[in-house]
Amino acid sequence: MNLQTELDQERVYWLQQQPAPASAVERMAMDYLHHAGIEARAVRVGERAPGFRLADRDGRPQSLDQLLAQGPAVILFFRGVWCPFCELTLRAFAEAAPRFAALRSPLVAITPQRLPLSTVPDPFPLLADVGSHVARAYGLAYDLPPNLKLLFEQHYQTPLPQLNGDGGWTLPVPAAYIVGENGQVLWAQLDVDYRRRASPEALLAWLVSHHRAVDAPRTRV
């Protein structure tokens, strides 16, 4: 079963569990994100990827430069493992991690949630973006509107300020990037509907079909 099929099944189950008012708030939130222009302002193909240096679950710093020294980097942004759609996505990429390694493409996932995230397998690094500074640099971060905050508190019982450890109500739009060894974004996908995600197969297919391009020597700046 591919990732989007799993996500679609989870969406059906999720909608069945949701009271109608909660579903209405979710729809309004997606409209809010669409009109906020996040998809237009986010880092896109051809632009330089903002650098970062974040700690993994063991507290070890990981930087974009370190990743690019190994090959074209695959970077995932996700909301947190409290989100079932994020957890399904991370598990799919965990299963595909050996295939990315075989292509010399380091894979990392960035979240505003505090680590450790013990429910998720870790064949690749999960990095803590406390305060969502990296997500903001990529144009992906947004602050939850009041009606969505209320939904998280009362219905989802998901206290984001505590989970994220920064006292704020900020999340990233889920996104996936491939960054070339020269720091340029080669492939990107994001969607304000967090129930739709880039699949491991899509990124792997791109890496395989463009292997000569991504193997080009890194330019110095």
For the chain, the domains span 3-214
CA distance 196 to 173: 11
The β-bridge partners of 20 are: none
Mean pLDDT score across all residues of the chain: 87
**Which H or E run contains 75?**
strand 73-77
The tens digit of pLDDT for each residue in 18-70 reads 666 666 767 777 787 877 888 889 999 999 999 999 999 888 999 999 999 99
Question: Mean pLDDT over residues 211-217, rounded?
Answer: 49
Closest CA to 71 of 95, 107, 43: 107
Please give the structure tokens belonging to residue 76.
């995932």
The tens digit of pLDDT for each residue in 124-172 reads 999 999 999 999 999 999 998 888 888 788 777 788 899 898 989 999 9
pLDDT of residue 54: 97
Please give the structure tokens belonging to residue 87.
């957890």
Cβ contacts of 128 within 8 Å, gap of 6 or more: 54, 55, 56, 111, 112, 113, 114, 115
Cα 110 off chain centre by: 6
The percentage of the chain sitting over the pLDDT mark of 70, rounded to a whole number, equals 86
Task: Tell which CATH architecture fits domain 3-214.
Answer: 3-Layer(aba) Sandwich (3.40)
Closest CA to 104 of 211, 186, 221: 211
pLDDT(79) > 90: yes
Cβ-contact 161, 168 below 8 angstroms: yes
Sign of CA dihedral 32, 15, 115, 164: positive
CA distance 56 to 158: 23
